[in-house]
Homo-oligomer: A and B are copies of this chain.
Amino acid sequence: MKVKRSQRLIDMTRYLMEHPHTLIPLPFFVHRYESAKSSISEDITILKRTFSENGMGTLKTIPGAAGGSIFIPSIQYDEASGFINKMKTELNDSSRYISGGYLYMTDILSHPSVVRNVGRIIISQYVNQKIDYVMTMATGGISIAEMVASYLNVPFVVARHESKITDGSTINVNYISGSSDRINRMVLSKRSLPPKSNVLIVDDYMKGGGTISGLAALIKEFDCHLAGVSVFAEDNYNGKRAFDFDYTSLIKVNIDQKHINVSDGNYVQNIFNQ
């Protein structure tokens, strides 16, 4: 049975949102809705304009026999900075201080609505880059890694301090925690990451950068390529960071004598400098 335009647009929106970064050939929709090619083409034009206007992202259309449409999610700067300001307000709260000079933010990163926005902001920085895998360290970064992977429609891999029996054989690296000078180990299942993959590192919090440099070493060991590094929060760290490549952060946390001050991360500055 032929499907009406209104119903097609609803279903196409849903389908594209659930299949980002995937080329959907025009005939797929033609067949799905038993509608004429010309009608589907018009639908795509409407979707393209609306996705762009409401800031969801870009609906790229590729002409030709092998063509189709690809939804590339992103976020507009206004929405991103509104979200970052909200995070700053929520985290600037002395009751979040944890002895030892840490900030409690697990609750924030347990809210899917928050992680969704973190994910959208991170992926919007890599719209023109090929990313095959998202990588993080257990356990703090997993929720961000999964959401970023979900928007990019690629798998995510999780390094751990200890291997699990279900990992099978693993590749291990030792790294020095930048902020505490302790030696840590990081393991990743050998099966989890094919060589030559482009890997985006994400994490919840970065202090000295030891974890990030460990993950980067792991990427090298797997004969893969580092595509970028994005963290939710970076510490206003005074020492020398354990790595020297670029990274982006959404917020910057300064903890001085139990006093918490949260400011913009370099993501905001980078946008302004563009």
Q: A residues touching B (Cβ–Cβ < 8 Å)?
A: 5-7, 9-11, 13-14, 17-19, 46-47, 49-51, 53-54, 56, 98, 100, 102-107, 110-113, 115-116, 138-140, 142-143, 146-147, 149-150, 153-158, 160, 164-168, 189, 191-192, 205
Contacts and interface: CB of A to CB of B under 8 A. Distances in A.
Contact of A104 (B51, B150, B191): B191
A178 B189 CA distance: 25
A143 B146 contact: yes
A170 to B, nearest CB: 11
A257 to B, nearest CB: 18
Contacts of A164: 139-140
A130 B147 CA distance: 24
B51 A10 contact: yes
A6 B7 contact: no
Contact of A157 (B47, B105, B110, B153): B110
A9 B113 CA distance: 22
A14 B13 contact: yes
Contacts of A110: 149, 155-158, 192
25 contacts: A5-B6, A6-B9, A7-B46, A9-B10, A10-B10, A10-B54, A11-B50, A14-B17, A14-B56, A98-B168, A100-B165, A102-B166, A103-B166, A106-B166, A106-B191, A107-B191, A107-B192, A110-B192, A112-B150, A112-B153, A115-B146, A138-B138, A139-B142, A139-B160, A140-B164
A5 B257 CA distance: 55
Contacts of A46: 6-7, 10
* Most-contacted residue by chain B among A103, A113, A147, A189 (CB, 10 A): A113
Contacts of A156: 110, 112, 143
A113 B11 contact: no
A47 B10 contact: yes
Contacts of A18: 113, 116
A153 to B, nearest CB: 6
B146 A158 contact: no
A39 to B, nearest CB: 12
A49 B10 CA distance: 10
Contacts of A168: 98, 104
A146 B156 CA distance: 14
A8 to B, nearest CB: 9
B139 A10 contact: no
Contacts of A102: 165-166
Given A14-B54, A106-B166, A112-B150, 4 more contacts: A10-B50, A140-B164, A142-B142, A166-B205
